[in-house]
Structure 1
Amino acid sequence: MDRGTVGSANRGRLHVDVRTEGLSEVVKPVGELDHHTADLLREPLERAVEQGRVRLVVDCSGLEFCDSTGLNVLLGARLKAEAAGGGVHLAGMLPVVARVFEITGAEAVFTVHDSLEAALDT
């Protein structure tokens, strides 16, 4: 099985865009979220909560891979956001990423939306 660059130390495999839209901080990771790239997502999520933006919407439509480390980043952000009175909404997950949440049961602790638009409408 050709795993390509999965597991390599190439941090260029994940790019994260952040923008504020209404009351939501929209964070869009694009690429592979794993042990090597997790901090690239963790940092903007934590920064948003520290700055009082506690309604986090993670647009997962560009997320091609997520391992347990990536899942833990999202779970940690959820705990911090909820402690501050907010929450984490996941939007537009590709089937390969949704499967990780389904297998681990993590989908039960997040608010999951089919699209970014649906997440922003709630």
Structure 2
Amino acid sequence: MDRGMVGSANRGRLQVEVWTEGGSEVVRPAGELDHHTADLLSGPLDEALAKGRSRLVVDCSRLEFCDSTGLNVLLGARLKAEAAGGGVHLAGMLPVVARVLEITGAEAVFTLHETVEDALAP
């Protein structure tokens, strides 16, 4: 598995790791995704799309909280990725984040996977 780290960011309550895996850009936010930290996730997602990576895998296994601002970051990335011929795949969601997607109906517009490995499988 090629996990050459592309970059990472940290602002106290949220850390974001990014790497390229085959034809996908994998983004792993860890901590709390909210109004104060959303740009730490939107930046790497936008950068991946700007580099022509339209298949984005977001590893949510370490995402402990997501508010409406965080959800809007994911939804915005999905629209941009789909416009570029790709999509956003969410993997390994903790129940608290899965519940946000469920009650908002957003789970219906994402491709969901149990693990990052499942999301990266052909």
Q: TM-score, normalised by structure 1?
A: 0.91
Cα distance in 1 for residues equivalent to 2:49 and 2:77: 8
Post-superposition Cα deviations, 1:62-106, rounded to whole Å, max 9, x if no partner, equal: 000000000000000000000001100000000000000000000
Aligned to 1:69: 69
Aligned to 1:107: 107
Cα distance in 2 for residues equivalent to 1:114 and 1:48: 23
Letter in 1 for 2:98: A
Cα distance in 2 for residues equivalent to 1:22 and 1:97: 27
Task: Say if 2:41 is the partner of 1:41.
Answer: yes
Task: Say if 2:80 is the partner of 1:80.
Answer: yes
Q: What number of residue pairs does the alignment pair up? A: 113
Cα distance in 2 for residues equivalent to 1:118 and 1:51: 24
Task: Say if 2:116 is the partner of 1:116.
Answer: yes
Cα distance in 2 for residues equivalent to 1:112 and 1:88: 9
- Secondary structure, in 3 states, of the residue corresponding to 1:85? coil
Cα distance in 2 for residues equivalent to 1:81 and 1:118: 19
| Amino-acid identity (%) | 79
Note the aligned Cα RMSD (angstroms).
1.1
Cα distance in 2 for residues equivalent to 1:119 and 1:12: 28
Q: Which has the larger radius of gyration?
A: 1
Aligned to 2:5: none
1:112 CA displacement: 0.4
Cα distance in 2 for residues equivalent to 1:116 and 1:72: 21
Greater helix share, structure number: 1
Task: Say if 2:9 is the partner of 1:12.
Answer: no
